[in-house]
């Protein structure tokens, strides 16, 4: 177990270094950062001096090493556009994105599993068929369109929910501003959370349904029925637990994509998260912010992957091979 964790950690570090290399190399080609930092009237000598000061004349390897060693301690430099430390900027925007992502991930998982189990058990029923048909819309409509449609229906026509922003936020300990504690904050969260989670929900639902149908055909389910267990025990005790093993992986990885794809939803709803920050940085070629964002997303994926692998151990006893005398 310990060996497994250490091995996975080493792999994670390798992945992060690769992403760092890509991020670093990629942004060397998006334009000369000096050009966007200085005004028209700056002399060539001054530019050269600035270039030297920022270390832009050092060999590639040296620059990369400096980038990585600073990134490790959370120093991604200063934003060209906002003249603030990048890490500070991202940390101040992160709570908004994480709250949005977790709420929509939770929504996607609960409804995805619920609908998936229902449609698997009531195969052929009219409600199941309707859910399956409607789910096609969730899969096929692009996120921004769903967002705009929801705004049109619930914010413009019915005027039930706000169409943009985060509502009132409460400061928790100076480093986390939450919208979950105020009514306007919660109301503001509903539409973006549904928009962001709808695709993942239909994906989880279809996965759970397929997996559940598969499990219901297995011998151990047949044997559980032959022992006279109640439908409830067979469906939820035996079938669902086995269904969730593969579903956990996908859901975990989907949480990563939710955070990454929050960019579109944040743009549509003007949600003040890191996604919106990234979009604005792209517009101004704010390389440090873009690089930091890329690294952050990579870190989220790596960490989630690690957690998912560990969850596997908790759920599936067959992977715990630490016992002596196995296979008696």
Q: How far apart are CB 320 and other proteins at their closest, in Å? A: 8
- What does the alpha-carbon distance between residue 83 and residue 89 come to, in Å, rounded to a whole number? 10
Complex with other proteins: residue 84 or 218, whichever CB lies closer: 218
Residue 220 engages other proteins in binding (rule: CB under 8 A): yes
Residue 324 engages other proteins in binding (rule: CB under 8 A): no
The region of 47-55, 170-178, 196-204, 217-225 touching other proteins under the rule CB under 8 A is 217-225
The region of 90-98, 231-239, 249-257, 305-313 touching other proteins under the rule CB under 8 A is 231-239
The region of 17-25, 134-142, 156-164, 237-245 touching other proteins under the rule CB under 8 A is 237-245
- What does the alpha-carbon distance between residue 112 and residue 240 come to, in Å, rounded to a whole number? 13
Q: How far apart are CB 326 and other proteins at their closest, in Å? A: 6
Complex with other proteins: residue 125 or 237, whichever CB lies closer: 237
Burial call 140-157: b when 16+ CB within 10 Å, e when fewer: eeebeebbeebbeebbee
Residue 61 engages other proteins in binding (rule: CB under 8 A): no
Complex with other proteins: residue 83 or 231, whichever CB lies closer: 231
Q: How far apart are CB 310 and other proteins at their closest, in Å? A: 17
Complex with other proteins: residue 78 or 311, whichever CB lies closer: 311
- What does the alpha-carbon distance between residue 55 and residue 118 come to, in Å, rounded to a whole number? 60
Number of residues that bind other proteins (CB under 8 A): 28
Q: How far apart are CB 255 and other proteins at their closest, in Å? A: 23
Residue 231 engages other proteins in binding (rule: CB under 8 A): yes
User: Nearest CA to 290 among 50, 86, 67, 82?
Assistant: 86
Complex with other proteins: residue 160 or 236, whichever CB lies closer: 236
Site for other proteins in 89-128 (CB under 8 A): none
Complex with other proteins: residue 3 or 226, whichever CB lies closer: 226
- What does the alpha-carbon distance between residue 234 and residue 216 come to, in Å, rounded to a whole number? 9
Residue 232 engages other proteins in binding (rule: CB under 8 A): no
Burial call 31-52: b when 16+ CB within 10 Å, e when fewer: eebbeebeeeeeeeeeeeeeee
User: Nearest CA to 11 among 306, 255, 307, 254?
Assistant: 306
DSSP strand pairing (170-172 vs 176-178): antiparallel
The region of 8-16, 60-68, 83-91, 214-222 touching other proteins under the rule CB under 8 A is 214-222
Contact 56, 66 (CB under 8 A): no
The region of 54-62, 227-235, 253-261, 304-312 touching other proteins under the rule CB under 8 A is 227-235
Residues 6 or more apart whose CB falls under 8 angstroms from that of 273 comprise 93, 94, 96, 97, 100, 262, 266
- What does the alpha-carbon distance between residue 127 and residue 285 come to, in Å, rounded to a whole number? 50
- For residue 101 the two structure tokens come to 């992502």
* From candidates 218, 303, 307, 322, binder to other proteins by CB under 8 A: 218
Give 235-272 as a DSSP string: IIIIIHHHHHHHHHHHHHHHHHHHHHHHHHHHHHTT--
* From candidates 31, 57, 237, 310, binder to other proteins by CB under 8 A: 237
- What does the alpha-carbon distance between residue 51 and residue 35 come to, in Å, rounded to a whole number? 11
Q: How far apart are CB 231 and other proteins at their closest, in Å? A: 8
What does the binding site for other proteins look like in residue numbers (CB under 8 A)? 218-220, 222-231, 233, 237-238, 241-242, 245, 315-318, 323, 325-328
């Amino acid at each position: 177990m310990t060996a497994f964790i250490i091995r996975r950690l080493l792999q994670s570090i390798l992945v992060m270094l690769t992403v760092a290399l890509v991020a670093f190399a990629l942004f060397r080609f998006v334009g000369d950062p000096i050009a966007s930092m200085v005004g028209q009237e700056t002399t060539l000598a001054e530019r050269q001096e600035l270039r030297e000061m920022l270390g832009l004349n050092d060999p590639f390897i040296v620059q990369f090493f400096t980038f990585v060693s600073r990134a490790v301690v959370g120093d991604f430099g200063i934003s060209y556009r906002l003249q603030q430390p990048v890490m500070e900027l991202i940390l101040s925007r992160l709570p908004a994105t994480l709250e949005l992502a977790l709420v929509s991930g939770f929504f996607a998982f609960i409804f995805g599993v619920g609908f998936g189990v229902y449609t698997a058990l009531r195969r052929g029923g009219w409600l199941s068929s309707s859910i399956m048909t409607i789910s096609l819309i969730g899969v096929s409509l692009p996120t921004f369109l769903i967002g705009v449609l929801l705004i049109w229906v619930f914010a413009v026509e019915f005027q039930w929910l706000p169409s943009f922003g985060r509502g009132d936020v409460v400061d928790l300990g100076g480093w986390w501003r939450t919208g979950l504690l105020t009514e306007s904050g919660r109301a503001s969260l509903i539409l973006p959370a549904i928009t962001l989670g709808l695709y993942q929900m239909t994906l989880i639902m279809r996965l759970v349904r397929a997996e559940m149908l598969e499990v219901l055909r297995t011998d151990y389910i047949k044997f559980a029925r032959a022992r006279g267990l109640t439908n409830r025990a067979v469906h939820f005790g035996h079938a669902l637990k086995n269904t969730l093993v593969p579903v956990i992986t996908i859901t975990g990885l989907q949480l990563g994509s939710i955070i990454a794809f929050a960019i579109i939803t944040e743009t549509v709803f003007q949600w003040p998260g890191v996604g919106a920050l990234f979009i604005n940085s792209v517009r101004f070629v704010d390389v440090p912010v873009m690089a930091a964002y890329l690294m952050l997303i990579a870190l989220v994926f790596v960490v989630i992957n690690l957690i998912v692998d560990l969850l596997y151990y908790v759920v599936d006893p067959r992977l715990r091979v630490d016992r002596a005398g196995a296979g008696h």
